[in-house]
Amino acid sequence: MKKKLLPLMLAFLLIVPAAAAQGDSWLPGPPISNTAAPAAMVPETPAETPAPEPSASPKPAPPKGLVDLREIEATWIIDMRYATQNNTRGVAFYPTDDCFLREGTAKKLLKAENYLAERGYHLIILDAYRPQSVVQWLWDTCPPERRKFLANPKKGSNHTRGNAVDVTLADENGVELEMQSGFDDSTEKASRDYDPGEELKARTDLLTTAMKKAGFKTIDLEWWHYSDTKNYSLIKE
Ligand SMILES: [Zn+2]
């Protein structure tokens, strides 16, 4: 190599940009109001404010103690329904579709996914860590007679602990399968006691087997909800 090239190479190395700054908190902006839909938390970009360059917006870091499921190499499908309008409220009330869980819970979920993948199925992850402000908003805006389906924000939810997950099944091509009810259905069809017929019952049973083998427990009211058998403390936002 010619010696006169060396100074040029050194100069190039010195001007390589520094790494991006630390990530923002996951829930930017003011707390959710008790009455307004959190969709209002995501205002349109004011016309006079130039949109930041994509490279200047580092991916938000998970809250302490949680891991980002999108960073895990897995064959599951992540479809955070509360970040879309495809949920029972019909509004997106997560500002991002980030998907976070406790590290130990995420490892268990990976076991469940691998069990299902070996049998030609996949998990679709519908919800995972849920910030306390969202749990509170869900409670405040829910008619009292339907609150039995929600965690009381005073006690906290396992979703707020980062050790609960809502899941359903997809086939080997990633196509969502019909289950005994839709996600967040608040009728008796969501109950584990409901008899949806042989084929749909077998799907609930398969999902339950995969999750229980991996270290999750069920609740009676919602076939899609699973909590890690290991307890964790509430996560303060
Ligand atoms: Zn749940």
List, as one string, the DSSP characters of 66-115: EEEGGGS--S-EE--GGGSS-STTSS--SSS---EEEHHHHHHHHHHHHH
Measured in Å, residue 102 CA sits from the centre of ligand 1 at 15
Measured in Å, residue 65 CA sits from the centre of ligand 1 at 19
This prediction's pTM: 0.75
222 is catalytic: yes
Catalytic-labelled residue, pool 118, 188, 199, 222: 222
- Ion ligand 1 neighbours (CB, 5 A) are 166, 225
Contacts of 145 (CB under 8 A, 6+ apart): none
Look-up of token digits 């580092």: 58
Fold of 62-228: Muramoyl-pentapeptide Carboxypeptidase; domain 2 (3.30.1380)
pLDDT of residue 58: 58
Domain spans of the chain, in order of start: 62-228
Cα–Cα distances in angstroms (integers) from residue 19 to residues 52, 57, 63, 200, in the given order: 17, 12, 21, 50
CB-facing half-sphere around the CA of 61: CA atoms within 13 A? 10
Measured in Å, residue 181 CA sits from the centre of ligand 1 at 14
pLDDT < 70 regions, the chain: 1-60, 237
Measured in Å, residue 41 CA sits from the centre of ligand 1 at 23
**Identity of the amino acid at 2:** K
pLDDT of residue 59: 65
In this structure, are strands 77-78 and 121-127 parallel, antiparallel, or unpaired?
parallel
